[in-house]
Amino acid sequence: MAFPTKVKIVEVGPRDGLQNEKETISAEVKIELVDRLTDAGFINIEAASFVSPKWVPQMATSTEVMAGITRKAGVIYSALTPNMKGFEGALAAKADEVVIFGAASEAFSQKNINCSIAESIERFRDVAQAAKQHNIRLRGSISCSFGCPYQGEVSPESVADVVRRLKDLGCDEIDIADTIGVGTPRHVQKVMERAAKEFPLAQLSGHFHDTYGQALANIYAAMEVGVSTFHSSVAGLGGCPYAKGATGNVSTEDVLYMMNGLGVETGIDLDKVVDAGQFISKHLGRKAVSRAGNAIAAKRAG
């Protein structure tokens, strides 16, 4: 596959990034963050999660956030929907895309939701059908595609199996996610090439974590086998729940810096993303977890 000349960056900071923050972040701040990201040029922003506030209190403001953001035509605002109740919330909030999910690791699935991978995906059939019925985009996300905190290794075949199941539910896009950040470049290429035998490469995305510093090398390697959609999180929002104090989502600023250097088109204004990253980090009372973001901010400060 040809190295892409253009990539789609899905900004996941407002949802995946912020969801584990302990301190409650007001809807106003989240709205400003999403609006800044819209203004920076993203065409897909993961903005909300319609999950029980008992489980993820930080996402309790999702309806308010979705109602408060200034939408731009053509931009997809995505919401995580763990079940039909979540779907109803996302539908009412006018989400453009709903996200369902499963793990590529049997141990992870059993430990986290007490059922098999196959059962966990099957439980999304109603959400998937409802999404189709309402003409809402459907995205499927596969966690632990490169390793699992419980079982260790995860085979490309296990990932391919979940890709097939999500395809069967009608997903428009499928994320291959490295939840614990253990993937390295050749491994990434193997998994992506295997997944592409089950689902169109143009609709596969790479979701990499920088826990071991590998994310950017992995994105570059994935591009070499033709992947052209990647997730990233402004200011590197989102830690790693499996290694306290370790980094999580790859930072959007680092990804954009690489894309700009490679001459790969993103349509996104890096300077505005740096501003958004400094805005939310200041609000959270800590330094952004983005090397490019902090370097650019430091350079500006002189």
Binding mask 199-218 for a second copy (x = CB under 8 A): -----------xxxxx-xx-
> Cα 130 from chain centroid?
22
Rule CB under 8 A: is residue 291 a binding residue for a second copy?
Answer: yes
Q: Does residue 285 belong to the site contacting a second copy (CB under 8 A)?
A: no
Residue 278 CB, nearest approach to a second copy (Å): 12
**Residue 233: beta bridge partners?**
251
Q: Containing H/E element for 100? A: strand 97-103
* Dist CA 91 CA 75 (whole Å): 16
- Tell me if residue 240 is catalytic: yes
Stretch that binds a second copy, among 51-59, 62-70, 235-243, 273-281 (CB under 8 A): 235-243
- In the numeric block, the tokens 């408060």 are attached to 68
CB of 259 to a second copy, least distance (A): 9
* Selected catalytic residue, list 144, 148, 171, 240: 240
Q: Is residue 146 within 8 Å of 191, Cβ to Cβ? A: yes
Candidates 139, 128, 125, 146; CA nearest to 194 is: 146
The CA distance from 45 to 138, in Å, is 14
Of residues 50, 254, 277, 278, which one binds a second copy by CB under 8 A?
Answer: 254
Site string for a second copy, 173-202 (x = CB under 8 A): --------xxxxxxx---------------
Residue 229 φ/ψ, nearest 5 degrees: -130, 130
- For residue 87, the 8-state DSSP code is H
User: Would you give the DSSP letter of residue 78?
Assistant: E
- With respect to a second copy, which residue has the nearer C-beta, 86 or 147? 147
Interface residues toward a second copy, by CB under 8 A: 181-187, 210-214, 216-217, 219-221, 240, 242-247, 251, 253-254, 257-258, 260-263, 290-292, 294-295, 298-299
Catalytic residues: 240
